[in-house]
Amino acid sequence: MLVMSQHVLFMNLLTNKHILNSVALALAEDFGAGDVSADFLLNKIITAEIISREPSVICGIEYAQSTFLSLDDKIKLDWKVKDGECISSGQVLCVLIGASKAIISAERVALNFLQMLSSVATKTHYLVSKISHTNAQLLDTRKTIPGLKLAQKYAVKCGGGVNHRMGLYDCIMLKENHIIVSGSITLAVKLVIEQHSNLPLIVEVENLIQLQEVLTLSSVVTRALCDNFSINDLIQAVDVTKGKLPLEASGNINENTIVEVANTGVDFISTGSITKNIQAIDLSLRFV
pLDDT (tens digit, 9 = 90+) per residue, 40-66? 888 999 999 999 999 999 999 999 999
pLDDT > 90 in the chain, percent: 88
Q: Do domains 7-126+278-287 and 129-276 have the same CATH topology?
A: no
Asked if 75 and 122 touch (Cβ cutoff 8 Å), the reply is no
Highest CATH level, class, for 129-276: alpha beta
Q: Which of 83, 140, 227, 248 is catalytic?
A: 227
**Residue spans per domain, the chain:** 7-126+278-287, 129-276
Q: Is 60 exposed, middle or buried (0-12, 13-18, 19+ CB in 10 A)?
A: buried
pTM of the full structure: 0.91
Structure confidence by residue, pLDDT tens digits, 244-269: 999 999 998 999 999 999 999 999 99
Which of the residues 83, 140, 204, 267 is marked catalytic?
A: 204
233 assigned to active site: no
Whether 175 is catalytic is: yes
pLDDT confidence bin for 10, thresholds 50/70/90: low
Distance CA(287)–CA(104), nearest Å, equals 10
Q: Is 123 a catalytic residue?
A: no
**Residue 74 designated active-site:** no
Catalytic residue, candidates 108, 130, 142, 149: 108
For 7-126+278-287, CATH number? Answer: 3.90.1170.20
Question: Which residue among 175, 206, 213, 276 is the active-site one?
Answer: 175
